Amino acid sequence: MRTIRVETSAATILLTEALEPKVRDQQTREIAKDADSGEALMTIGVVYIEDGESSLIKVTVPEGGISEGLTLGAPVSLPGLVARPWESVFNGQQRHGIAYRAAAVTPAATGVAA
C-alpha cells in the first residue's frame, strides 16, 4: 500500500490525547505490534494546524519512539510522519480513511533564536 510523506515544517502540532496502546483485536484486547521490529505500537491524538486550518488526527507511533516530557496541549514534533489511505468492507459496508504513522513523537522546540 502506498504511503505519502507529510511535510510538517510549516505546521503546528499540539498533543490533544494521551498515549494509549494500539489495540489490534477489540475482542481479545491484543496490542498491535510493528511488523518489522515486533515493538508495541501506541496511538496519540494531535491537532494539526497549518495555513489557518486544523484537523484532529490519531497517529500510531512505536513505543520506543515516544519521548519523555510530553504534556497535553503542548507542541510536539512527529518525525517521519506518513499518511496511508485505506479501505475495507465491514458488515457489507465499504469504509475508507487515512491512517497516520510517525517514527517518533517528541516535544517540539519552541522559542526564537536571538
pLDDT digits (tens, 9 = 90+) for 42-63: 999 999 999 999 999 999 999 9
Cell of 20: 494509549
For residue 8, is pLDDT > 50? yes
Instruction: Give residue 105's region: left, alpha or beta (phi > 0; psi -120 to 50).
Output: beta
Per-residue pLDDT tens over the stretch 59-96? 999 999 999 989 999 999 999 999 999 998 888 889 89
pTM over 0.95: no
Pairing of strands 76-77, 106-107: antiparallel
Q: Are 63 and 42 in contact (CB under 8 A)?
A: yes
User: Phi and psi dihedrals of 26, rounded to 5?
Assistant: -65, -30
Chain mean position to CA 74: 15
pLDDT, one tens digit per residue, over 104-114 is 999 997 644 43
